[in-house]
Structure 1
Amino acid sequence: MSLPTVLEKLQIKSEKYFLIQGMPSSIEKPFSKLNYAKNVTPLLRARKIDFALIFAVNVRQLAQIVDEVVPALHENGKFWVAYPKSTSKIYCDLSRDYNWELLTGLGFEQVSQVELDSVWAAIHFSRNGAWEGDLEYTIEEASSAQA
C-alpha cells in the first residue's frame, strides 16, 4: 500500500476553481497538473473558489490573505492554511498550537491537519455556519493577538 499523495491528503476531488496562494517553489511539483490561480481575481471572486490553499509564515501575512480569500470562497469550499512546521528553519509565528482566532472569529473551525512535506504542514478549516460575510477581525487585531 502506497503513502497518500499531497493531493489525496488535501482531499482534492471534483473541485473546479482552485486558488493556491503563496506557494513556495520547493513544493510546486505535486500541484503541477492542477489548473489553479495564484491570486484572487475578479473572475474567481465572481465564480467562487471551491478549493483554497494559502501559505503563510506569520499572522500578519495570514490576515492580509484571508481578507482577500474568505469573501471569494464558496460556502462549502475547502480552505487550507499551510505554515512552516516548527522543525523547519523558517521563522514563523503560526503553528498547530496557535489559537487561530483570526479564522475562528470568522466562523471557521479546524477539521484536520496534514503534512505537505518536511517543511510545510496545513490545517483544513470549515465554516461552522456562524460567518455573516463581514471580516471584522483586522490585521491589527491579528497582530496584537499573537503578542
Structure 2
Amino acid sequence: MAKTLAERMHLRSGERLLLANAPDGYEATLAAPSDVEVSTEAAGTFDVIHLFVSTRAALEADTPGLKALLNPNGKIWIAYPKGTSKQLSADINRDDIRGYALTVGLQTVAQVAVDDDWSALRCKVVG
C-alpha cells in the first residue's frame, strides 16, 4: 500500500504542525494523523512547519521567522513549484532553496513530491 503524504513527510502523531502559505485543499492532501494539531497561525512553537514559496523574496522573508518557531529537533519543509508544473510558475528551484537554507542555519536532508505541482525539501537546524 502506498504511503500517505504525511507518512512520506515523517509527520507523527501528537506533533504540532504549522501550514504557512499552503494552497487550498493542502490539509486534505496531507492526510495528517487525527491527533496532529494543525495551525495556520504562526503563534507558539511547532514540531513541523510546512512553508510554501514560489519566489526567492518569499523564501527570504518567511524562512528566518518561521525557523525561530521550531521546537528543538523540529523540521521545516519548504515546498516550491516543480519546474514541470503547468499550473504554477516560480523564480526559485531546489538548488536555490538548498543554498539559501545554509545561510540561515538549515540543512536540507530529504525531498518529496507533494503533488503534480509542488515538491518539498525537508530541512533541519544545524549548528
SS of alignment partner, residue 65 of structure 1: helix
The within-5 A match list for 1:121-132 is 121-129=119-127
Alpha-carbon distance, 1:98 to partner: 2.1
Aligned-residue sequence identity (percent) comes to 26
Greater strand percent: which structure?
2
- Is the CA contact (8 Å cut-off) linking 1:107 and 1:128 kept in structure 2? yes
Q: Do residues 5 (structure 1) and 4 (structure 2) align?
A: yes
1:39 corresponding residue in structure 2: 41
The one-character-per-residue Cα deviations of 1:30-63 (angstroms, maximum 9, x if unpaired) are 346553111312xx1xxx2111011010110111
Greater helix percent: which structure?
1
TM-score normalised by the chain length of structure 1: 0.75
1:137 corresponding residue in structure 2: none
The root-mean-square deviation of aligned C-alpha atoms, in Å, is: 1.8
SS of alignment partner, residue 3 of structure 2: coil
Alignment: residue pair count: 123
Structure 2 Cα separation of the partners of residues 15 and 51 of structure 1: 11
Greater gyration radius: 1
TM-score normalised by the chain length of structure 2: 0.86
Residues 62/39 of structure 1: CA separation in 2 closer, same or farther (3 Å cut): farther
- The equivalent position to 1:62 in structure 2, one of 41, 59, 64, is 59
Structure 1: gaps of 5 or more residues = 130-147
1:81 corresponding residue in structure 2: 78
